[in-house]
Structure 1
Amino acid sequence: MSKQPHLGFPAPLLGVDPIRLPVLHDDGEMLILAKLPGILLQQDAWYPRLPILIEAIRYQAAQGKPELVKMGISPSGLWAVTDIDAECAGPVLLTRSREAAEELKNQFGSGAFSFTYEFITQSTPSEDKLECDLPLSRHGRLPRMLVSHTTGKITHTTFSMVDSVGSYTLCSAQTRFPRRHQVLLHALESGLPVLGDRIYAKSNPIMLSRIKRDYHFRRDQDERPLYDGPAYYLKELTISENLTISMPAPPRWQGLVKQLQKYSH
């Protein structure tokens, strides 16, 4: 079994530590990377201090980094086709040429792609499937989205229950064209607030002390959340009938699910 390829980023390109992102798919033109939370794919005024993946790639490509040269990435770098929230982990689609990116963006804009997220909520869906099509608009001043029937753009999300996780619920959210924070806001409006979503659900990150009855605090150490930020990630990106890219659950996500199953009852 061949070892999964990665793209490496020395500090401080994507943060204070060096990072290696798994390559989930590479056909010579399309390249799909597993983005981590806390990293932007492209520049966004909401997050002026977060590292930007596409810029880090282009910087290394311009320097002629051997790893990128070996993968056929030109000095111009890569072009982004899809995007996901800064707070979210998941596959992002890039191409080696601008022309290929424009063609795929047209398909994406026509609803040809499908995005399937998983998230954890303390609620239980009232039905097997829930639909939400509330239009969303960017707030004029704050880094958040709003439901707006006058200025909002068309959105549609389908929610369904996947499994019980202790006293919590694992749900999926599927959409053809994810807008910024769409899953978070649509989930809240559907009665399924995402665990750890401070912006819309006003939900604090889950702590082990909150669910484990005999938890012992250590005076010399601050307790760390089981999962940083909203508990959701992009699990699958479907580009065509013959190409669906699945991303393994992030390690912190797996740890969160394990602890919820063990202690939350």
Structure 2
Amino acid sequence: VVSILIPAPPARNVTPESIPLQILHEDADLVVINKASGMHVHPGAGRPTGSLAAALLHHCEGNLASGGGPDRPGIVHRLDRETTGILVAAKKDAAHRELSRQFRERETEKTYLAFVLGRPRGDAGTWEGAIGRHPVIRQRMAVRSRGRTAKTDWKIISCWPGASLLELKLHTGRTHQVRVHASAAGCPVAGDPVYGGTNPLTRAAQVPRQLLHAHRLSFTHPRTGEYLSFEAPPPTDFAAFQSYLDER
């Protein structure tokens, strides 16, 4: 019998970095941030610096929960690199465990805003396509019969020729959930090159990214039991695209 010992990969440690953060709330247990576009939540292959985790380590002077692992200190949940909006991070391990449980048990409330190309059928509805890894392009997700359950409520806020502004409530937290559901419904998120969200309209308007924003997050404080709700206003690129649509 031949035994092969494969060593575990070395743990990655995040180096604190002085990166500006928009703090919406902070106490002894947690911190709520309005994440900017272009920022990864944690380091990864080919992107060792510039992460939210590194910025939080600097801001909190190293006082972050270890539950997320050595490369994800304090991180409870994630947003895509180009998605803006609200994130909560934990300073203490007990807070990390309880917040993670709330996300896992779907006890949090997550509301997004998104510009999409075209218009969904109707004024409001629910997308429930299961989501799994794309069968060919492994970096993408897709609606698949054997995927994981996913549910997104949506309603139209405003419409223009060729585009709509939606409010979306997520009941689950699948990777790329809004982007995949919107694309499968024939109205991809504007500016999203991965899921079909670029066209002459977005190029003419110089849309810089996928226009998806985590607008509101509600949860129970892990220590006090107080129900908390936070909102982050959409960034300037939302207003710029709306102005372009209004003036066409």
| Structure-1-length-normalised TM-score | 0.73
Name the residue aligned to 1:252.
237
* Contact 1:74-1:96 within 8 A present in 2 as well: yes
Q: Report the Cα distance in structure 1 between the residues aligned to 2:29 and 2:175, rounded to whole angstroms.
A: 26
Q: Is contact 1:114-1:238 (8 Å) kept?
A: yes
1:74 aligns with 2:69: no
Paired residue type of 1:142:
R
Q: In the TM superposition, what is the alpha-carbon distance from 1:100 to its structure 2 partner?
A: 0.9
Residue of structure 1 in register with 2:165 after alignment = 170
Rate the CA distance shift 1:197–1:207 in 2: closer, same or farther, 3 A. closer
- Measured on the aligned residues, the alpha-carbon RMSD in Å equals 2.8
Summarize the Cα distance change of 1:251–1:119 in structure 2 as closer, same or farther, 3 Å threshold: same
Structure 1: runs of 5 or more not aligned? 1-11, 61-66, 212-224
Equivalent position of 2:41 in the other structure: 41
> What is residue 130 of structure 1 aligned with on the other side?
125
Say whether 1:230 aligns with 2:210. Answer: yes
For the structure 1 residues 104 and 167, does the alpha-carbon distance in structure 2 shift closer, same or farther, using more than 3 Å as the test? same
Q: Report the Cα offset of residue 207 of structure 1.
A: 5.2
Q: Provide the secondary structure at the position in 2 that maps to 1:187.
A: helix
Distance 1:256 1:79 in 2: 34
- C-alpha displacement at 1:55, in angstroms? 3.1
CA shift, 1:228, in A, is 1.4
Q: Distance in 1 between matches of 2:95 and 2:65?
A: 14
After superposition, the Cα gap between the structure-2 partners of 1:206 and 1:128, relative to the gap in structure 1 and judged at 3 Å, is closer
1:246/1:131 CA distance change after superposition, 3 Å: same
What TM-score do the two structures reach when normalised by structure 2? 0.78
Q: Distance in 1 between matches of 2:200 and 2:36?
A: 17
The residue identity in structure 2 corresponding to 1:229 is R
How far apart in 2 are the matches of 1:127 and 1:207?
A: 23
How far the C-alpha of 1:204 sits from its partner, in A, is: 4.2
The CA deviation at 1:136 is 1.2
Query: Given that residues 195 and 205 in structure 1 are in contact (C-alpha distance below 8 angstroms), is that contact kept between their aligned partners in structure 2?
Result: no
- Change in Cα spacing, 1:173 to 1:50, as seen in structure 2 (3 Å) is farther
Q: Unaligned stretches of 5+ in structure 2? A: 1-14, 67-72, 221-225
Look up the match of 2:56.
Answer: 57
Contact 1:197 1:204 in 2 (8 A): no
Letter in 1 for 2:51: I
Corresponding residue number in structure 2 for 1:160: 155
Residue 44 of structure 1: how far off its partner (Å): 5.0
Equivalent pair of 1:115/1:234 in contact (CA under 8 Å): yes
Corresponding position of 1:197: 192
Distance 1:30 1:136 in 2: 30
Which residue does 1:4 correspond to in 2? Answer: none
Cα 1:76–1:233, aligned 2, differ >3 Å: closer, same or farther? closer
Match of 1:184 in 2: 179
Work out whether residues 84 and 178 of structure 1, in 8 Å CA contact, stay in contact via their aligned partners in 2: no
Change (3 A) 1:75 1:100: closer
Count residues in correspondence.
222
CA apart distance, 1:49: 6.6
Query: Which residue in 1 is equivalent to 2:92?
Result: 97
**2:208 partner amino acid:** D
Question: Contact 1:23–1:34 at 8 Å: present in 2 too?
Answer: yes
